[in-house]
Amino acid sequence: CFFSRGVSPAHRIHPTAHSATGTVTIHQPLNYRAGARVHPADGGQAEEVYEPATGRVICKVLCSGEKEVDLAVQSAKAAFKIWSQMSGMERSRVLLEAARIIREQREEIATMETINNGKSIFEARVDIDISWQCLEYYAGLAGSLAGECIQLPGGSFGYTRREPLGVCVGIGAWNYPFQIACWKSAPALACGNAMVFKPSPFTPVSVVKLAEIFTEAGMPKGLFNVVQGGAATGQFLCHHPDVAKISFTGSVPTGMKIMEMAAKGIKPVTLELGGKSPLIIFSDCALENAVNGALMANFLTQGEVCCNGTRVFVERKILDVFTKEVVKRTQKIKIGDPLLEDTRMGALINRPHLDRVQGFIKQAKEQGAEVLCGGDLYVPDDPKLKNGYYMRPCVLGNCTDDMTCVKEEIFGPVMSILPFDTEEEAVERANATKFGLAGGVFTRDIQKAHRVVAALKAGMCFINNYNLSPVELPFGGYKASGFGRENGRAAIEYYSQLKTVCVEMGDVESVF
């Protein structure tokens, strides 16, 4: 598998995955509290949930009110008392069992993710693999989470305890619904915390499956709860006095609001926000790898990826050959029914978002960019897909740094190509953005590669590849792309706190 590892071939193909587009409806409650699916106790405003591939409503999600949010937090609080007292090894075993169940149910979860999100089943399987790998990784760390012992004068000493924070809130975006929930819950639970998770109201479905799996794996009932809804529900969560931490993935404007709310309760926050990341292609690159890298950097999940390298800086010497090849390969991307095995680009999340992406392309043309391919709506032949939210992936040439398409996050399949002449110029232009989530470089010159990534003001940098997600590596942003880290050992810092204990072995020497 091309950007995940450790998947046995038996997990790859499932014979029944093909037929479900346009047929699934969901009737079960989508809130999860105290170890069971429940209808929310209050709120109750219903939002339609779509299948992007067909434009069909697959269910209605009931938004949780203040009372339901409180019940979920209280349920988490009760479970925290049990879970936080368990040893790391005991927690590890439960997380490993959850990872095993996810592997077992991989096809079912990936199919649901595809139906609700619109991404290809091929990619959804990778997302689910990254998800269980994340649980395995933090299960591995759970047993070794510890403080340190520090010798002091006269035989006295101090020690630190790494303690959980309490009830953590996770708020997710719609592009990687299951994976985001795992990236937040795995380190949180490994550290001994409880969690209340709110997915995006566009993709409420798969995270409830995760909650069921956690219970089946042996977590105390109430340890992981799901509330549903949009901004109002999110605000109840962020203001709740019993919430110890908020981890958010989403847009910059919402991230600012989350931070303001957290400030009122002195709650720590992790913010995984948007980006407009640079990918710098030098003329001494391996061209085919660089072309592959540019496609990986722009067209996964219909371009709806926060860390995408959407500003592709190409050394002028290879501009023509690189552009020609990228365009040729982009035109070959198979768009269509996301549940078909050979589809590589499915549907965008919803009609307003598709319109927004189309608006960016229109504006790019008005500002002088040239559409080298795609950018138009795509209507699949299959009649059941005719109301889906498809577009052809787009490559823009003739771009300049001041264009809106180069400055703003589009969150769709739109690549902007920008020529450059010198390394210094490329680095300076790459850094001339309010964002700092990711960046990449393609070159065969190892000194240049390391020099350039060292100069990039971005949290996640790639050399000679792009958009890989090994769970062992910390992920997160600089500047307006947020702070805090997910994945890797680093995430432990954001879901635990240190208690220092100072131990006197002698007598108290009072100054009074």
Ligand X SMILES: C[N+](C)(C)CCCC(=O)O
Enumerate binding residues for ligand X (CB under 6 A). Answer: 175-176, 180, 300, 305-307, 467, 469
The single residue among 249, 358, 416, 443 that binds ligand NAI, judged by CB under 6 A, is 249
Site for ligand NAI in 194-233 (CB under 6 A): 198, 200-201, 230-231
What angle, 0 to 180 degrees and rounded to 10, lies between the N-to-C axes of helices 206-217 and 177-190?
30
Looking from the CA of 278 toward its CB, the CA atoms found within 13 Å total 29
The single residue among 35, 40, 172, 338 that binds ligand NAI, judged by CB under 6 A, is 172
Residue 397 found at the interface with ligand NAI (CB under 6 A): no
Residue 178 found at the interface with ligand NAI (CB under 6 A): no
Residue 112 found at the interface with ligand NAI (CB under 6 A): no
* Torsion, Cα of 417, 479, 168, 70 (10° steps): -90
Q: Which of 252, 253, 248 is nearest to 271 (CA)?
A: 248
Instruction: Answer with the entry of ligand X, ligand NAI, none that 273 interacts with (C-beta below 5 to 8 A by kind).
Output: ligand NAI
Residue 181 found at the interface with ligand NAI (CB under 6 A): no
Instruction: Provide the 8-state DSSP code for 220.
Output: P
Residue 54 found at the interface with ligand NAI (CB under 6 A): no
Instruction: Answer with the entry of ligand X, ligand NAI, none that 76 interacts with (C-beta below 5 to 8 A by kind).
Output: none
**Element spanning 397, H or E:** strand 394-397
Beta strand ranges found along 134-203 (DSSP E): 149-151, 157-164, 167-171, 194-198
Which stretch in 41-49, 137-145, 250-258, 458-466 sits in contact with ligand NAI by CB under 6 A? 250-258
Site for ligand NAI in 437-456 (CB under 6 A): 437
Active site residues: 272
Residue 127 found at the interface with ligand NAI (CB under 6 A): no
Cβ-based nearer residue to ligand X, 56 or 485? 485
- Residue 129 three-state SS: helix
286: left (phi over 0), alpha (psi -120 to 50) or beta: beta
Residue 409 found at the interface with ligand NAI (CB under 6 A): yes
Sign of the dihedral defined by the CA atoms of residues 184, 188, 190, 191, in that order: positive
CA distances 485 to 2, 185, 269, 371, 475, Å, are: 24, 13, 10, 36, 5
Beta strand ranges found along 191-295 (DSSP E): 194-198, 224-226, 243-249, 269-272, 278-281
Contact 75, 34 (CB under 8 A): yes
Give the nearest residue (CB) to ligand NAI: 234
Residue 254 found at the interface with ligand NAI (CB under 6 A): yes
Residue 175 found at the interface with ligand NAI (CB under 6 A): yes
Residue 273 found at the interface with ligand NAI (CB under 6 A): yes
Give the number of other Cβ atoms within 10 Å of residue 331's Cβ: 13
Cβ-based nearer residue to ligand NAI, 235 or 387? 235
Cβ-based nearer residue to ligand X, 299 or 313? 299
The single residue among 251, 289, 387, 398 that binds ligand NAI, judged by CB under 6 A, is 251
Residue 411 found at the interface with ligand NAI (CB under 6 A): yes
* Angstrom distance (rounded) from CA 442 to CA 295: 13
Binding residue count for ligand NAI, defined by CB under 6 A:
26
For the CB of residue 269, give the shortest distance to ligand NAI in the complex, in Å.
11
Contact 198, 47 (CB under 8 A): no
Contact 246, 79 (CB under 8 A): no
Angle at 385 between CA 17 and CA 21, to 5 degrees: 20
Instruction: Answer with the entry of ligand X, ligand NAI, none that 231 interacts with (C-beta below 5 to 8 A by kind).
Output: ligand NAI
Instruction: Answer with the entry of ligand X, ligand NAI, none that 467 interacts with (C-beta below 5 to 8 A by kind).
Output: ligand X
For the CB of residue 280, give the shortest distance to ligand X in the complex, in Å.
18
Contact 310, 277 (CB under 8 A): yes
432 is written with which tokens? Answer: 């001339």
Cβ-based nearer residue to ligand NAI, 235 or 431? 235
For the CB of residue 279, give the shortest distance to ligand X in the complex, in Å.
14
What mask of x and - would describe binding to ligand NAI in positions 300 to 329, judged by CB under 6 A? ------x-----------------------
- Residue 475 three-state SS: strand
Instruction: Answer with the entry of ligand NAI, ligand X, none that 234 interacts with (C-beta below 5 to 8 A by kind).
Output: ligand NAI
CA distances 347 to 145, 255, 357, Å, are: 42, 26, 12
Place of tokens 């999340």: 349
Torsions phi, psi of 197, nearest 5?
A: -115, 135
Footprint on this chain of ligand NAI (rule: CB under 6 A):
171-175, 198, 200-201, 230-231, 234-235, 238, 249-251, 254, 257-258, 272-274, 306, 409, 411, 437
